[in-house]
Amino acid sequence: MAKAVEGRAVSATQREWAAVVQAIVAIVGSDAVVTALTHRLVYQWDGNTVFGGLPQAVILPRDVDQVEQVIRILSDHRIPWLARGSGTGLSGGAVAIQGGVIVDLARLRGPVQIDAIGPLARVAPGVTNLELNRAAAARGYFYAPDPSSQVACTIGGNVAENSGGSHCLKYGVTVNHLLGLEVVTASGQRLSLGGAAPDLPGYDLTGFFVGSEGTLGVVTEATVHLVKQPQAVRTVLALFDGPEQASQTVSDVIAAGMLPAAMEMMDRLAMDGVELGPYRVGYPSQTGAVLLIEVDGIEAGLPEQAEHIVAIAQHNGVQEVRVAQDERERALWWQNRKTAFGAMGNLSPNYYVQDGVIPRSRLPQVLQQIESISHEFGLRIANVFHAGDGNLHPLILFDDHQKGQREKAIQAGSAILHICVEEGGSITGEHGVGIEKREEMRWMYSDEELAFQGELRRVWDPQGLANPGKVLPT
């Protein structure tokens, strides 16, 4: 077979590399060390759709001790590595752009331990967000951050990316629900950060670690805060002529003093995608935007809140508005919304998603600008938003087999982020910086501020081995 063009070769010599592999096999067993090219090929991507990179090896440890020993060896031999969970991230965080080793934590998925007094849960990094939520639900609780990929994404990855989700409007993102972490740092040191007790003295290292995108080390256990399941939920689906009326409805709901658990919007093109997927709602063809609003809390007063929302939607010229009649209908609406990214496959061979944040009130103007970008680059753009907190997910459709389209899509994405920053927002809401937004970090921070972040990173990872080439601009 023809020789592989690897990512930049690791610093180890061939002989040293063979010794490293042998030492790791001795720890984790040969079935947990992947070096065959074909097998590695499946690890050249994560959930992002534009950046790939071939790892030199993939290690699948089974427990914390193995993780620690493996990272020690990698550190001793100065071999770059990165942690991976389910590989659903959207900014390339789990792609080995510089080669090196992937440490896959999917096998660390022991049972979720729930402490009802907290209420809190101790979770292994390879447990999926949905598995945690199922375990919590059995005891009457839930874990609030709910990224759309929650069926597959792992808690370790959620911590690394500080994941949000549809319900973070009311409940906050991962960092708001983390009490403590067990981690192995890039130099192979095991540390306990934070803990079950509130307001621990000293620096908030848990807060620092969350959202570090694998550049400081790897999570081996997370202690998370659980929330009592609300007594009741009402979910409203409102269909509008276009995003303007839907946006106005979002603003009016907030202005009326309500704090819904979630407010989600999709434009026509996004609807076209999900309607071809497995969870079809049946949106009428003349609908230009759909709004999904959920309120929760104690039963008393909730029907009135839902009615109030319906009235606001009607005031804004809604075409049709419905309240979910049962759990089945509610679940369908959510599944329809949550499969939006993957559903782009029904419309286009490839897509590229961006993750900008803007002040909520600027939504209609920003949407118009996104439309001009779509015309300028000649690429269709579908829009999905966490409308309540102004988090945009423009989905730029392209065909990788047409020369130059991928580059155009990346440029269009960057142009959209520029608008977000100009409007007083940010370059990322919840997907992380990863590979794709390193340079855009300069729009957010001065050179001094970035240098300071670099200094902090080096405290945890003096050799620069953990997920190199991510987050900070080079």
Partner 1 sequence: MTHEVFSSQHPPLAELAEQLAYDDLMNCMRCGFCLPACPTYAVTGDDFDSPRGRISLAKAVADGQLSPDDPGFAQAFDRCIGCLACQEVCPSGVQYNRIFEQARAFIEARRTHGPVRRLAFSGLFLHQGLMRTAAALMRFYQKSGLQALVRKSGVLHVMGRLGALEPLLPKLAAPQRMASGQWLLPSSDRAAHAVAQVQRIDLRNRRAIALSAPARKNRVSSTATAVEAAQDSERANACLRVGLFGGCIMDAALSVTNVNTARLLQYAGVAVINVRGQACCGALHAHNGDLQHARELAKRNIAAFEQAEVDLIVSNAGGCGAQFFEYPELLQDEPLWHARACRFLEKVVDVTELLDRLDNLEGLRPIEAVVTYQDSCHLRNVMGVTEAPRKLIQSVPGVRFVELPEAEKCCGSGGIYNVTQYDFSMQVLDRKLAFLKQTQADYLLTTNPGCQLQLAYVAKRSGLPLKVMHIVDFLAQALPEER
Q: Is 270 in the site for partner 1 (CB under 8 A)?
A: no
Structure token digits, residue 443: 């729009």
CB of 260 to partner 1, least distance (A): 25
Q: Residue 341's closest CA among 353, 355, 356?
A: 353
CB of 203 to partner 1, least distance (A): 34
CB of 18 to partner 1, least distance (A): 20
Q: Is 37 in the site for partner 1 (CB under 8 A)?
A: yes
Taking CB under 8 A as the criterion, the residue among 18, 259, 276, 331 binding partner 1 is 276
CB of 380 to partner 1, least distance (A): 15
Integer Cα distance of 417 and 425 in angstroms:
9
Q: Is 385 in the site for partner 1 (CB under 8 A)?
A: no
Integer Cα distance of 395 and 398 in angstroms:
10
Q: What is the phi/psi pair of residue 416, to 5°?
A: -65, -40
For CA atoms 372, 377, 380, 381, give the dihedral sign: negative
| Cβ proximity to partner 1, 283 vs 341, nearer residue | 341
| Cβ proximity to partner 1, 43 vs 377, nearer residue | 43
Applying CB under 8 A, the site for partner 1 has a residue count of 54
| Cβ proximity to partner 1, 39 vs 458, nearer residue | 39
| Cβ proximity to partner 1, 26 vs 42, nearer residue | 42
Q: H or E element: which one contains 180?
A: strand 178-185
Q: Which residues contact 379 (CB under 8 A, 6 or more apart)?
A: 396, 397, 398, 405, 408, 409, 412
Taking CB under 8 A as the criterion, the residue among 11, 52, 241, 275 binding partner 1 is 52
Q: Is 397 in the site for partner 1 (CB under 8 A)?
A: no
Q: 278-297 mask for partner 1 (x: CB under 8 A)?
A: x-------------------
DSSP 128: B
Q: 316-345 mask for partner 1 (x: CB under 8 A)?
A: -----------------------xxxxxxx
Give the binding range for partner 1 (CB under 8 A) out of 36-44, 231-239, 285-293, 361-369.
36-44
| Cβ proximity to partner 1, 44 vs 251, nearer residue | 44
Taking CB under 8 A as the criterion, the residue among 18, 39, 331, 449 binding partner 1 is 39
Contact 229, 140 (CB under 8 A): yes
* DSSP string over 71-102: HHHHHHTT--EEEESSS--SSSTT--TT--EE
* DSSP string over 389-415: GTEEEEEEEE-TTSTTHHHHHHHHHHH
Q: What is the phi/psi pair of residue 149, to 5°?
A: -90, 20
Q: Is 437 in the site for partner 1 (CB under 8 A)?
A: no
CB of 35 to partner 1, least distance (A): 11
Please report, as a single letter, which amino acid is at residue 208. F
CB count within 10 Å of CB 364 equals: 15
| Cβ proximity to partner 1, 244 vs 264, nearer residue | 264
Taking CB under 8 A as the criterion, the residue among 346, 368, 372, 402 binding partner 1 is 346
Q: Using CB under 8 A, which residues numbered 97 to 156 contact partner 1?
A: 97, 104, 106-107, 109, 126, 128, 130, 149, 151-153
Integer Cα distance of 242 and 364 in angstroms:
10
Q: Is 45 in the site for partner 1 (CB under 8 A)?
A: yes
The torsion defined by the Cα of 53, 154, 131 and 188, in degrees rounded to 10, comes to 120
| Cβ proximity to partner 1, 128 vs 428, nearer residue | 128
Q: Is 24 in the site for partner 1 (CB under 8 A)?
A: no
| Cβ proximity to partner 1, 124 vs 387, nearer residue | 124
Structure token digits, residue 419: 């608008």
| Cβ proximity to partner 1, 34 vs 379, nearer residue | 34
Integer Cα distance of 124 and 132 in angstroms:
10
Contact 471, 162 (CB under 8 A): no
Integer Cα distance of 50 and 52 in angstroms:
7
Burial (Cβ within 10 Å: 0-12, 13-18, ≥19) of residue 38: exposed
Q: Is 28 in the site for partner 1 (CB under 8 A)?
A: no
CB of 2 to partner 1, least distance (A): 5
Give the binding range for partner 1 (CB under 8 A) out of 2-10, 22-30, 182-190, 355-363.
2-10
Contact 359, 327 (CB under 8 A): no
DSSP 37: H
Helix (H/G/I), strand (E/B), else coil: 358: coil
| Cβ proximity to partner 1, 138 vs 451, nearer residue | 138
Find the distance separating the first CA and the last CA of the chain, reported in whole Å: 35
Q: Is 311 in the site for partner 1 (CB under 8 A)?
A: no
> Which residues in this chain contact partner 1 in the complex, by CB under 8 A?
1-2, 4-7, 34, 36-39, 41-47, 49, 51-54, 60, 86-88, 97, 104, 106-107, 109, 126, 128, 130, 149, 151-153, 274, 276-278, 339-346, 349-351
